[in-house]
Amino acid sequence: MHLEADEQITFTTEQGGEFDVTRKPWGFYATPSLNDRLPRFGLRAALTRSSDGKFFIKLVERGREAEFHGYMEQQAEAVVCWLDEDDALLAIQGAQTG
This prediction has a pTM of 0.83
- Is there a contact between 48 and 58 (Cβ–Cβ < 8 Å)? yes
Whether residue 67 has pLDDT greater than 90: yes
Determine the average pLDDT of the residues in 49-76.
Answer: 96
Decide if 2 is inside a domain.
no
If one counts every other C-beta atom within 10 angstroms of the C-beta of residue 36, the result is: 10
Decide if 3 is inside a domain.
no
The pLDDT tens digits for 14-42 are 888 888 999 999 999 988 899 999 999 99
Please tell me the predicted confidence (pLDDT) of residue 63: 93
Q: Structural domain tally of the chain? A: 1
Please tell me the predicted confidence (pLDDT) of residue 86: 87
Question: Residue 77 sits in which domain range?
Answer: 8-97
Decide if 14 is inside a domain.
yes
Please tell me the predicted confidence (pLDDT) of residue 47: 95
| CA distance linking residue 23 with residue 87, whole number of Å | 29
